[in-house]
A and B are shown apart, each in its own frame.
Chain A
């Protein structure tokens, strides 16, 4: 259900952008799936396509092309500067589920493998981001 809610919000953003630009075609959209949030890609894509169809049929707004890219998570320690990637084996399945809902909770569950600090940044691969590259065909 979370994937449906995410897809719904993204399609609302697309609709908003199209209306704002006075366009009914968005030529290129890029969706980045940060792997920290562990979005179920199959469910998300199914929901996204379904909702794009609804958008086209009900609002006459069409997305011509969209591209999905995946990004591995990367952390950087603010204390010692170490950069490291996420190893799902370092957290429990319950903690993984919490990270799925709110990726920032990873700060509660892991710390820097070098100095032990919890003061680190998620530098890549956090969650979903969307980039509308080209719009505006009226």
Chain B
């Protein structure tokens, strides 16, 4: 009988995390990577030890949003590989470090192998892990949920992202319909990006009883702030305040529960 030893390594690597937040949307182009970056910056500036993982294995881009020059980075080897520290309280890992910022063409089983290898060697030192996922509900997201399920399903709270356009809203409703049957998947909430009209998304939050964690308007000069961490942080403080509070409170609640369980 053959078994995957990496699952055991992943289990011990991830079991110290208090909260894992996969940023998900079945539709592409809604701003998952931007929101992952902004949210990580906001959480770390709040003093919360945060990790950011780019789970887009074949075409990672978070490092570009965050202005990291991959070619100049040499990751430190300490009991595995330490993620790159990009700010006080913020560490970052991406497949781009290992492909030297090139495209990685992979089919399904190889994507799973690459994810397991990456998570088995990454030595996180954070409490909250934000995971930017590629669009859809395929290998990357399913594998992440599977691995997290083996660690602690209750520490996983997906944050859903949509825009206000019809296709994106239909896609997010499909996702909510799908996960409502899964008793152990409890979303953190939903963020509407590039949003000028809040009515359609409010209707979704009412229908599905999911918490609205922020509206972000269309950022006109987004191309200009790519790689500008200070500017991204300013936007985060303006638009992601509720999401940061929600995450902070969720961690506190988990601390309280753990304390009472110990007593």
Tell me, in angstroms, the Cα distance from A104 to B120 when the chains sit together: 14
Segment at the A interface, from B72-80, B156-164, B167-175, B179-187: B72-80
Tell me, in angstroms, the Cα distance from A127 to B4 when the chains sit together: 11
A43 at the interface (CB under 8 A from B): no
A107 touches B2 (CB 8 A): no
B3 touches A108 (CB 8 A): no
If A104-B110, A130-B3 touch, whether A2 touches B103 (CB-CB below 8 Å) is no
A39 to chain B, nearest CB (A): 13
If A2-B80, A104-B114, A107-B110 touch, whether A9 touches B6 (CB-CB below 8 Å) is yes
Tell me, in angstroms, the Cα distance from A129 to B113 when the chains sit together: 12
A131 at the interface (CB under 8 A from B): yes
Interface size on B, residues (CB 8 A): 32
Which residues of A lie under 8 Å from residue B77 when comparing CB positions? Answer: 1-2
Which residues of B lie under 8 Å from residue A17 when comparing CB positions? Answer: 3
Q: Mark A100-137, 1 if CB is under 8 A from B, else 0.
A: 01111101100000000011011000111111100000
B39 at the interface (CB under 8 A from A): no
A19 at the interface (CB under 8 A from B): no
B201 to chain A, nearest CB (A): 37
B119 to chain A, nearest CB (A): 11
Q: Which residue of the partner chain, among B8, B104, B111, contacts A9 with CB atoms under 8 Å?
A: B8
Q: Mark B73-114, 1 if CB is under 8 A from A, else 0.
A: 000011111000000000000010011101111110011011
Q: Which residue of the partner chain, among B4, B100, B110, contacts A95 with CB atoms under 8 Å?
A: B100
Q: Which residue of the partner chain, among B12, B104, B110, B121, contacts A2 with CB atoms under 8 Å?
A: B121
B105 touches A102 (CB 8 A): no
A105 touches B104 (CB 8 A): yes
- What's the count of A-B pairs with C-beta under 8 Å? 90
Tell me, in angstroms, the Cα distance from A132 to B121 when the chains sit together: 23
B199 to chain A, nearest CB (A): 45
Interface residues of B in 161-212 (CB under 8 A from A): none
If A102-B98, A130-B3 touch, whether A1 touches B80 (CB-CB below 8 Å) is yes
B69 at the interface (CB under 8 A from A): no
Q: Which residue of the partner chain, among A8, A13, A95, A107, contacts B104 with CB atoms under 8 Å?
A: A107
If A8-B9, A107-B110 touch, whether A1 touches B78 (CB-CB below 8 Å) is yes
A77 to chain B, nearest CB (A): 12
If A101-B81, A104-B114, A119-B107 touch, whether A130 touches B5 (CB-CB below 8 Å) is yes
A135 to chain B, nearest CB (A): 9
If A1-B80, A98-B99 touch, whether A9 touches B117 (CB-CB below 8 Å) is no
Smallest CB gap from B2: residue in A:
A131
Which residues of A lie under 8 Å from residue B113 when comparing CB positions? Answer: 103-104, 126
17 A-B residue pairs with Cβ-Cβ distance under 8 Å, sorted by A, are: A1-B80, A2-B81, A6-B9, A9-B8, A9-B9, A13-B5, A16-B8, A94-B100, A101-B117, A102-B117, A102-B118, A104-B106, A105-B95, A108-B104, A121-B107, A129-B2, A130-B2
Interface residues of B (CB under 8 A from A): 1-6, 8-9, 12, 77-81, 95, 98-100, 102-107, 110-111, 113-114, 117-118, 120-121
Given contacts A105-B95, A107-B104, 13 further A-B contacts (CB under 8 A): A1-B79, A2-B121, A5-B79, A6-B9, A13-B4, A95-B100, A98-B98, A108-B99, A108-B102, A108-B104, A126-B113, A129-B2, A131-B1
